[in-house]
Structure 1
């Protein structure tokens, strides 16, 4: 990739001369889609990011939200899609490392991770190879740095075959007085690099992430993939804590996309300053590195700190204590962003023009067409077996059992439930954390599917008695220069924004990843959402107790569009009509109240796979269920905003639900089976058969 002629003309006009080779490659990377959001930024104003709880919204390394006057959390999300195709282990591992450093740069300590993974069809050997490498990379890195992975999702769809997605979110915790931003504070302060030495790995990663994957990407693009070292990252986490403890940091930026050039220029530009940087001062691990290699290397485990001159010596002492490299590379200055190398000036540009001057793209958006086909007739037993064994609805225990989800001693509810719960005694609350998307939904109907993604994540929180606090999104799409692809991307942006606004959930930050195309074609538009909420106490889990009756609470759907059943049978119909904004918000309030009531013994949301999968996940080896519904739509419809409730007090349930519909489903049983009656047809699966069907990932991958 080279700087396009139109961009080069703008640079020449601004500088009044041709750019140097180092300047040209710096503009190429910082003006890439990955860094500048040239195609997506015009759409992102649709999101509402305001709220009394929002301390820092979009634009910094991570968002900051208050739990109370003294306790803040950070929330961030990042993608590492192309690198994870080329090198699944290192690509995924360094995605974890990057989002953790985004957390550090705000002065926070990372307390939880969520990973949302998307691969081609599970029956393809290459998809399983990518899944195995990605999960191992996330597990090895996250476990080694001591940050629990507590939430996430794993999905399979044929359109990810040539371009998987790896989206990772992180929550951090800090007190209000420890907050740091990426806004440079004062000319004359020093810029100090702390962490690993700089090598040639990850060169051009930002531009690599801004173009379609080629057929030979696994070999040709391997140098653009960073290689991580989690043990150095752990030292960096602890060193960052020590630096914040002693109030030694004026501002900070993680070295991620576009490396030192990106981090340092953005940091000073945000403060309205320039910089004077000596590239020879950067500590390097490879000989004979040139200026643009030093500027654009994406070597991992590095931070750029703005430090007052009188504190530089102490910063370097702490770096040495934690066995980390450090280097004073220059100064915050008035005027231009200037870099020298071997005594010559190789970069001399206006910092704001470099960091924010990329022109936005004006692209055509056409709503994509979706084929309509009727659902073939299928027997009840066959339909149940197909949906319960679908890799998208099957148990993901094979994935999350590889992650340490209890390190840090905050995890109150582990992976596998609707949402994770974290103890936050500092604010006398619990934090619920959920993340995910459903490519079947957004492939069938980008706008409505994205509304459903937001509604489903909020329902996950409500099912644990939590009220949504804030969300971040990772918006993944294909090549935006194709009108139908850009139309689908616009649809997911608007759908996510509209539902989050309706539910009063500010979207406080996020990430955009476009050009997720390969020889297999574009991916489905994929709006991964990570959402947090607060709860007063731990609500019931989703396993049946056997002491109550079963009800479904929420507004029923009326179609099977985007469902696992239709995906299996090759059919497609209209996407279910979601409740309107006011009704959706009312449904969540009712679910939250019901989940927090003492008469509620179990609660679980209805979403992927519909009611059939929800009930299969609720039965245990000791407690089963017998339920009856009228038709297939009621059993397999995936409309979110509904929960199955086991309750001992129907009068309390009705009172708490208010105007939200309640339907009696059936009863719990003392036997370990799920019995389902649909329009007179009856099928029963015992717990062993359910476990066998839902264990498809374990069967194939162990």
Structure 2
């Protein structure tokens, strides 16, 4: 691939970009079965979030819902509060980086046996983490679902949905615009440290009990109050870019898996460019770390702009002076760390050393596997359930079961009414209902438009038959949305499966 022995930084970079988490190397070919285009689909599964039109104003402008759907399973299993909290943060940034205002979030949990003390510890930490991050951001939680089963004892599932709103012509894409040669790459946010280093590779592996302690360093550290400041400052910058007609001249991307490396190469390569990064320009929070850590760590509350050099002073001044990032959080700031190249190469300098020099397309495309899969040999029989001697007690037993009982202790931890857009709050119906455009900031003719969101599925169906488990997940969520009077308009999935190297587990996914 390189025609020479790789450097340590290149080895780490390729291991991250080649992970299941980043490259979808085992699933990509199967995911092509999904329908990702339609009359109202503005942006399908291509960038950091999907975009769907839900309203058109009298001037012909289309107004859209932006949706991101992700999991933070392994981190939540070993460090529940931080794992869940940083899951919220990354999901929110994915939506915001499309130029959208974030208006709602929801969550979907799968925990182990409720009688297990460890399950209770994970449950309490995850719920507290989502509340502890989402509430300070001022984003309402409008729904969710939860299921307990012993199969999740050692591997909980924590999936999150975030919604935003944006006008179609105000969408900011997560790639460099046309004619971007020599455009600047600007890193925004928290100073880079070693938190979350190796997180993408960690998220792609089987979770092993004996390695949980050593993997804690792969979990990021959350700072919700810095993220709130970054949201508000970025919203204000969106307005400036719209006013100056610069929305189509910039790109914007969250720093998720792989940190600076992945954002800087993906912003460029998606548009056919390469990029160049200078490590000494990255603002850091810890000294004397290996350069590959600064390059690939998943330090939270960071994102990256790509913009013309004549716009760079505006962006830097906006974050560092107008919104005083350095004064709000120690070490936080906006820094120019690199440039776009037109030769397709991805190059990283550390002082006088060139530690990465590879074709950008080789870094981002990763590998593609055609994994073998084999159906499980399963035999089931219908259960023999005797008629209850006391139907009243049977009803009480059902209602008190952990998979049927009220979710009030969970959703009362969340802020459900902030922003004033909620029509039907969590717990009152089968889907959350809200009016996303109900203020004077939006055209009068679309202010009464409502949207409904549901997450749901019964994992026991998947135990019996993965195919019908998938069918019922779609149908159940659609029924929930329909039951509040809404028309199912688009769906998202967050597929969390076992090791694809094992044919039976790959079959479950396929």
Q: By the TM > 0.5 criterion, same fold?
A: yes
Aligned to 1:471: 491
**Residue matched to 2:235:** 241
Question: May I ask how many residue pairs the two structures share in their alignment?
Answer: 477
Deviations 1:25-70 (A, max 9, x none): 1000000011111111121011111111011111200011112233
Instruction: Work out the CA distance in 2 between the residues paired with 1:415 and 1:218.
Output: 34
Q: In structure 1, the residue corresponding to 2:419 is in which secondary structure? A: coil
Q: What is aligned with 1:450?
A: 470
Structure index of larger Rg? 1
Counterpart of 1:259? 259
For the aligned residue pairs, the C-alpha RMSD in angstroms reads 1.3
Q: Distance in 1 between matches of 2:463 and 2:394?
A: 22
Residue 408 of structure 1: aligned partner:
419
- Kindly state the Cα deviation for residue 267 of structure 1 after the two structures are TM-superposed: 1.2
TM-score, with normalisation over the residues of structure 1?
Answer: 0.67
Cα distance in structure 1, aligned partners of 2:468 and 2:396: 28
Q: Counterpart of 1:629?
A: none
Relative distance call for 1:368 and 1:51 in structure 2 (3 A) is farther
1:472 Cα deviation after fit: 1.0
* Aligned partners of 1:86 and 1:217 also within 8 Å: no
2:91 matches 1:99: yes
List aligned pairs for 1:430-509, cutoff 5 A: 430-490=450-510
Deviation at 1:118, TM superposition (A): 0.8
Measured in 2, the distance between the counterparts of 1:133 and 1:24 equals 34
User: Once the two structures are superposed, what CA deviation does each residue of 1:290-316 show, in whole Å capped at 9, x if it has no partner?
Assistant: 221011110000001101111111111
CA contact (8 A) 1:39 1:363 kept: no
Secondary structure in 2 matching 1:142: helix
Aligned counterpart for 1:422 among listed residues 434, 437, 459: 434
Paired residue for 2:33?
46
Work out whether residues 371 and 506 of structure 2, in 8 Å CA contact, stay in contact via their aligned partners in 1.
Answer: no
TM-score by length of 2: 0.91
In structure 2, list runs of 5 or more residues that go unmatched: 326-332
Is 1:15 matched up with 2:2? yes
Query: Equivalents in 2 of 1:118, 1:408: separation in Å?
Result: 29
Matched, 1:199 2:193: yes
Q: Does 1:140 align with 2:132?
A: yes
Residues 208-244 of structure 1, C-alpha deviation per residue, up to 9 Å, x if partnerless? 0111111124311110000010001001111211221
Deviation at 1:192, TM superposition (A): 0.1
Residue 503 of structure 1 corresponds to which residue in structure 2? Answer: none
Deviation at 1:362, TM superposition (A): 2.2
Q: CA deviation at 1:136?
A: 0.1
Distance 1:40 1:412, change over 3 A: same
* Other-structure match for 2:219: 225
| Aligned-pair CA distance for 1:464 | 0.7
Deviations 1:461-509 (Å, cap 9, x if unpaired)? 111110111111100111122222211122xxxxxxxxxxxxxxxxxxx
* Distance in 2 of aligned mates of 1:418 and 1:381: 25
Q: Is the 1:235–1:323 Cα contact (8 Å) retained in structure 2?
A: no
- The structure with the largest strand share of the pair is 1
Equivalent residue, structure 2, for 1:680: none
3-state SS of paired residue (1:388)? helix
Matched, 1:277 2:264: no
How much has 1:378 moved relative to structure 2? 4.2
> Which residue of the partner structure matches residue 20 of structure 2?
33
Instruction: Specify every segment of 5 or more residues in structure 1 that has no aligned partner in the other structure, as ranges.
Output: 1-13, 491-702
Distance 2:299 2:72 in 1: 14
In the alignment, what sits opposite 1:216? 210
The aligned residue for residue 174 of structure 1 is: 166
Q: Aligned-pair distance for 1:277?
A: 0.7
Once the two structures are TM-superposed, the CA of residue 453 in structure 1 deviates from its matched residue by 1.1
The residue correspondences of 1:606-625 to structure 2 (distance < 5 A) are none
What CA distance in whole angstroms lies between the structure 1 residues aligned with 2:496 and 2:369?
18
Residues 368, 485 of structure 1: 8 Å contact kept: no
2: CA distance, partners of 1:86 / 1:218: 6
Aligned: 1:89 with 2:81: yes
Which string of whole-angstrom CA distances, capped at 9 and with x for unpartnered residues, describes residues 347-406 of structure 1? 111111110132324222324625325223141344323321111111101100000011
CA contact 2:276–2:348 (8 Å) conserved in 1? yes
Identify which of 327, 350, 364 aligns with 2:359. Answer: 350
Higher relative contact order (CA 8 A, sep 6+): 2
Secondary structure of residue in 2 paired with 1:221? helix
Counterparts of 1:244 and 1:359 in 2: how far apart (Å)?
A: 37
Q: Which digits, 9 at most, give the CA deviation of each residue in 1:560-610, with x for residues without a partner?
A: xxxxxxxxxxxxxxxxxxxxxxxxxxxxxxxxxxxxxxxxxxxxxxxxxxx
Helix, strand or coil at the partner of 1:468: coil
**Paired residue for 2:330?**
none
Counterparts of 1:252 and 1:149, CA distance in 2? 25
Q: 1:177 deviation in Å? A: 2.8
1:261 shift after superposition? 1.1
Per the alignment, residue 288 of structure 2 pairs with 288
Residues 368 and 98 (structure 1), Cα distance of their counterparts in 2 relative to 1, 3 Å cut = farther
Provide the C-alpha distance between the structure 2 equivalents of 1:252 and 1:119, rounded to a whole number of angstroms.
35
